[in-house]
């Protein structure tokens, strides 16, 4: 069974925490250390960012990390090599998150093949049009048992959400707001209403809420309304401040989240 499906199957009563970091930032060779530190600390799933020069959905923190990673020399091929080196040590699901351009340049089938070889269970491609996902990407990804995770936002129609739910597997990435990534102190009434609305739809796929989670309050709100939460910008900032010391960054994050 795909590790993503296995995670949610085995954790139906547990509120999950997934973390994102950008491969190659703050150090080129830090990918393995960060992933293994997350695993030791009990993180349920890791999103590994593929750095790109024009990350449209990302706020300044992740944009800065991507710029640093590219300057450090990170490439998709190098990332795959780093992941392959620790494949046998990693038990938690790994999800690559990156934009369509580098993946198309690499080749969709070659990308899926290499994901399997590197122990990657899924991919999030924020700028992948859904029609292209259905017609071009999904048939190839399915051959390799790779989950392509789609995003929904407060602006996604109920009809579209149900269509996504019917044609995807793994989980749905529920973006807390239609803005770019970044931290928030709390989720306002409008966002809470959005969470309740999606909850009431009784979707087939589990959901993970991301964008804006940085403290105990936003973490609890996300975990109360979905299978779990995804934290990106807050951890990327802490990892940079800790100069790549993942253990230190995780300890500081857990303090902020009151875990």
Q: Is the pLDDT of residue 172 over 60?
A: yes
In this structure, which long-range contacts are made by residues 157-161, counting pairs with CB atoms below 8 Å and at least 24 apart in sequence?
158/201, 161/198, 161/201, 161/203
The pTM is what? Answer: 0.93
Q: Which residue is associated with the tokens 């690499």? A: 106
Going by pLDDT thresholds of 50, 70 and 90, the confidence category of residue 109 is very high
pLDDT of the residue at 150: 97
pLDDT of the residue at 154: 92
pLDDT of the residue at 12: 75
SS3 sequence of 226-257: CCEEEECHHHHHHHHHCCCCHHHHHHHHHHHH
Contact 154, 178 (CB under 8 A): yes
**Annotated catalytic residue, options 47, 165, 169, 240:** 47
The CA distance from 68 to 87, in Å, is 25
Going by pLDDT thresholds of 50, 70 and 90, the confidence category of residue 180 is very low
pLDDT of the residue at 184: 52
Task: Among 32-46, 114-128, 170-184, name the one with the lowest average pLDDT.
Answer: 170-184
CA 211 to chain CA centroid, Å, is 10
Contact 145, 195 (CB under 8 A): no
Phi first, then psi, for residue 105 (nearest 5°) are -65, -35
Per-residue pLDDT averaged across 108-124, rounded?
Answer: 98
Asked if 47 is an active-site residue, the reply is yes
pLDDT of the residue at 178: 56
Going by pLDDT thresholds of 50, 70 and 90, the confidence category of residue 187 is confident
Per-residue pLDDT averaged across 123-145, rounded?
Answer: 96
Asked if 9 is an active-site residue, the reply is no
pLDDT digits (tens, 9 = 90+) for 85-104: 999 999 999 999 999 999 99
Going by pLDDT thresholds of 50, 70 and 90, the confidence category of residue 182 is very low
**Annotated catalytic residue, options 13, 54, 58, 169:** 58
Q: Is the pLDDT of residue 185 over 60?
A: no
Q: Is the pLDDT of residue 57 over 70?
A: no
| Average pLDDT value for the chain | 93
């Amino acid at each position: 069974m795909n590790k993503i499906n296995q995670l949610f199957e085995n954790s139906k009563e547990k509120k999950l925490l997934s973390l994102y970091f950008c491969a190659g930032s703050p150090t080129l060779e830090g990918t393995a250390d960060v992933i293994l530190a997350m695993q030791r600390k009990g993180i349920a799933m890791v999103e590994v960012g593929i750095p790109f020069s024009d990350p449209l959905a990302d706020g300044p923190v992740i944009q800065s990390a991507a710029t640093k990673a590219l300057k450090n020399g990170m490439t998709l091929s190098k990332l795959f090599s780093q992941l392959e080196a620790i494949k046998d040590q990693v038990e938690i699901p790994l999800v690559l998150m990156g934009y369509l351009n580098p993946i198309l340049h690499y080749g969709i089938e070659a990308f899926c093949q290499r994901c399997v070889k590197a122990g990657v269970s899924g991919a999030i491609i924020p700028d992948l049009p859904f029609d292209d996902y259905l017609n071009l990407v999904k048939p190839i990804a399915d051959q390799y048992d790779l989950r392509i995770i789609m995003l929904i936002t407060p602006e996604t129609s109920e009809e579209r959400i149900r269509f996504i739910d019917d044609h995807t597997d793994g989980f749905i990435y529920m973006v807390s707001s239609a803005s770019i990534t970044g931290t928030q102190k709390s989720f306002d009434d409008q966002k809470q209403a959005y969470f309740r609305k999606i909850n009431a739809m009784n979707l087939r796929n589990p959901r993970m809420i991301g964008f804006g989670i940085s403290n105990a309050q936003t973490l609890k709100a996300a975990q109360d309304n979905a299978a779990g939460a995804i934290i990106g910008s807050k951890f990327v900032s802490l990892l940079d401040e800790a100069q790549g010391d993942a253990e230190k960054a995780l300890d500081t994050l857990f303090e902020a989240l009151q875990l």
